[in-house]
């Protein structure tokens, strides 16, 4: 099999999505180590040149390099989507590209305008940076799913996606600052957002496939878990002062999200092709 045969659009879109997940983790690590301002508040330069001179500068420089590469992959995904006869991937892939300038602009603000603009390198700006990143990631997940339309029946795919989501939500909760069995340092924060994004991808997949399954109403559970997970991820960026009350709220968000995912997984596991659960089937005498 030639390289051209192996590099298909579904694989390319999936790789772009995974690269975006890695970029978000790297961005969180860069911000958590304080390396965002290590290049002397210059953008796109670093230490008065193209190459970094210190380890913190290298972290910020490497983050920018990966961001540039990821951006070109996102653009490539959109261009490829328009060259395919299927139109289901065009809208989401194009929207992801349209959000790139906004994401780049917010990133530049956080590292260049701290002196002139007091809110430059601040929680609200970093929160906006995360929201746009999550939106781009979600659009790419939907694009990758649309590129792989068809395949197994919906319910088996839903069950697999929910199984992944359950594990990812548990890891995300344990890595969050709400529970902190491990220190919520730079590496811990990157792990938290990596697990959270994996849960987001799995929940988006489950929500999409549930629409064509025998139990479409479970989308309310997966959609609710997504909303709770997004809120928990935003609190992880220190958007508000992390008081004991906020900690309880944050922990409650993850516990409720986990309960919704587990409940959806249990009901999807008991569902039959005719849309009834095992309990309903037994009750009817089947």
- Report the C-alpha gap between 243 and 229 in whole angstroms: 19
Rounded to the nearest angstrom, the gap between the alpha carbon of residue 279 and the centroid of all alpha carbons in its chain is 35
pTM of this structure: 0.86
pLDDT at 40: 59
- Report the C-alpha gap between 16 and 136 in whole angstroms: 11
pLDDT at 284: 33
Reported as a single tens digit per residue, the pLDDT across 108-120 is 777 665 444 455 5
Low-confidence ranges of the chain (pLDDT < 70): 1-5, 39-44, 47-49, 111-123, 151, 182, 272-286
pLDDT at 281: 36
Q: End-to-end CA distance of the chain, in Å?
A: 49
pLDDT at 63: 87
Question: Phi/psi of residue 277, each to 5°?
Answer: -80, 170
Reported as a single tens digit per residue, the pLDDT across 73-109 is 999 999 999 998 888 899 999 999 999 999 888 877 7
Tokens of 10: 């579904």
- Report the C-alpha gap between 58 and 47 in whole angstroms: 10
Distances (CA, A) of 264 to 208, 217, 270, 275: 14, 10, 10, 14
């Amino acid at each position: 099999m030639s390289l051209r045969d192996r590099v298909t659009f579904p694989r390319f879109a999936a790789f772009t999505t995974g690269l975006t997940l890695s970029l978000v983790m790297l961005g969180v690590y860069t911000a958590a180590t304080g390396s965002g301002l290590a290049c002397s508040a210059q953008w796109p330069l670093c230490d008065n040149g193209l190459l970094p001179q210190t380890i913190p500068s290298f972290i910020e420089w490497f983050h920018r390099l990966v961001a540039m590469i990821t951006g070109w992959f996102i653009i490539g995904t959109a261009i490829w989507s328009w060259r395919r006869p299927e139109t289901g991937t065009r809208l989401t892939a194009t929207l992801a590209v349209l959000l790139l300038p906004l994401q780049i602009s917010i990133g530049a603000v956080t590292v260049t305008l701290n002196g002139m603009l007091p809110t430059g390198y601040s929680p609200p700006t970093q929160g906006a940076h995360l929201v746009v990143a999550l939106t781009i990631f979600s659009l790419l997940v939907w694009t990758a799913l649309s590129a792989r339309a068809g395949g197994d029946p919906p319910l088996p795919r839903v069950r697999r996606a929910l199984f992944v989501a359950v594990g990812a939500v548990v890891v995300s909760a344990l890595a969050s600052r709400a529970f902190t069995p491990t220190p919520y340092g730079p590496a811990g924060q990157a792990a938290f957002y990596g697990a959270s994004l994996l849960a987001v991808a799995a929940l988006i997949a489950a929500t999409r496939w549930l629409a064509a399954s025998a139990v479409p109403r479970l989308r309310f559970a997966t959609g609710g878990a997504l909303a709770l997970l997004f809120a928990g991820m935003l609190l992880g960026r220190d958007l508000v002062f992390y008081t004991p009350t906020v900690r309880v709220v944050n922990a409650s968000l993850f516990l409720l999200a986990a309960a919704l995912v587990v409940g959806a997984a249990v009901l999807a596991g008991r569902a039959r092709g005719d849309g009834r659960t095992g309990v309903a089937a037994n009750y009817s005498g089947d």
